[in-house]
Structure 1
C-alpha cells in the first residue's frame, strides 16, 4: 500500500498550504458550487460540470478554472500553465493568504458559473476535411479500391488523404498514390506499422 502522501499527485504540496486552501474553500463555499473529489483533490462542480479546482504546488497554491479561457480576466490574474496544450484551463496562482481577495475571487467564480450556465465550452476542433481529387479519380476507376478505402476508420482515411495532399507537386502526389493503393487494398493503414 502506498502511503497517502505519496499518492497525491498534483496535490502533493497541499499540506504546506493547508490554511491557504481552507481560506479559498471558505470563499467557494459561499457559492452554489458542490465540492467533489477528483484526481485526488477538491474539484467544484455545477450541474455535474467541473468549474474549478484547488491545489497546492511547491511554490504556490492555485485556483484553476476548467473553462477559464472564457473568463474576461479584467484583473489579469489568470495564466495558461501549458500554452498550446491546455485550451480551456486557466490558473490563478497565489503565494500567500494576503493575495487572496475574496471579492475578486468570488467575481471570477460567479462569472465561471454563469459561463457554464450559458454552455460556453470549447468544442474539440474538427480536423479540416481533405479531398484528394487524384485519389477520387483512382477510386472512380477502381471500385475495389473505393470499397477498401471506405472500410477504414475516418481517422485512417484522413491519414491517407493528408499524406497524398501534403505533397507539393502533382508528380509526388501520384507517386504517393501508387504507394498507398496496395496498402489500401490490403487493408493496411498508413501508419499501422508504427502503431
Structure 2
C-alpha cells in the first residue's frame, strides 16, 4: 500500500494536464468513501475491492470514469463513452474547475449510485460473441498452437482489444504485422496497452 501512496502522490504532483480538476475530483471521490489505489498507471477508486471510478487528465479535458457506467441511470444524459468500442465505462468530461464545482452535487449522486451498484454485485451484461476476428488472426491461431492457447486464456476484454486492433488496418499485410508484433505480449498474458 505504501508503494501505491507514493505513486498516487507522484501522479497528482506531476500532472501536466488539468491538475486542479484532477485534485478536485479526487477529493470528491475520497469524501464519498472510496479507497484510492494505483492501477493502470493512475489512481483508481474502489469500494470493498471492486473498481468503481477512475480519473484521467486528457489533452482536451479532465474526466471521471465509472467502470459500470452503462448501469447508471444518467437521467440528464451527462455520461459519454470514452471511445467507440467502450461497452461498460461511461464518463463525465470537464473543461474547468468551475464546471466540477457547479456539478459537485450531481457528481456525488452518480458516485453514490455507482457504489450501490458495486455493493449489490451488479454486473454489466456483455454479449460474448459480438466481435468478428479478422481472417489473419484466425489463420495465425490455427497455425500457431502456442499462440492459440495463450490467446484463448486472455480475458474477454483483452481478446476484444486485440481483435479490434488487428481488424483496424485496411491492408492484410498490416493486420498480419500487428499480430506478429503482439505475439510475445499475448504469450505473456498481457493486454494490448499493458507493459
TM-score over 0.5 for the pair: yes
Q: Does 1:82 align with 2:113?
A: no
Q: What is the root-mean-square deviation in Å for CA atoms of aligned residues?
A: 2.7
How far apart are residue 29 of structure 1 and its match? 1.5
Q: Does 1:50 align with 2:41?
A: no
Which portions of structure 1, spanning 4 or more consecutive aligned residues, are displaced by more than 6 angstroms? Answer: none
Q: Is 1:91 matched up with 2:87?
A: no
Is the partner of 1:88 in helix, strand or coil? Answer: coil
In structure 2, do the counterparts of structure 1 residues 75 and 14 end up closer, same or farther at CA, with 3 Å as the change threshold? farther
Q: Distance in 1 between matches of 2:39 and 2:89?
A: 15
Unaligned runs of 5+ in 1: 129-152, 156-194
Count, aligned residues: 122
CA 1:73 to 1:14, structure 2 compared with 1: closer, same or farther past 3 Å? farther
TM-score by length of 2: 0.56
Residues 57-72 of structure 1: matches in 2 within 5 Å?
57-72=58-73
* TM alignment of 1:1-195, pairs within 5 A: 14-83=15-84, 85-100=85-100, 101-127=103-129
Q: Distance in 2 between matches of 1:56 and 1:35?
A: 17
CA distances 1:143-173 after superposition (whole Å, capped 9, x unpaired): xxxxxxxxxx9x8xxxxxxxxxxxxxxxxxx
**Cα distance in 2 for residues equivalent to 1:122 and 1:24:** 24
Q: Are 2:66 and 2:90, in contact at CA under 8 Å, matched by a contact in 1?
A: yes
CA distance in structure 2 between the partners assigned to 1:111 and 1:70 by the alignment: 9
Deviations 1:71-128 (A, max 9, x none): 0112221001223x22110111000111112111100000000011111112443449
Cα distance in 2, alignment partners of residues 63 and 50 from structure 1? 13
Q: Secondary structure at the match of 2:82?
A: coil
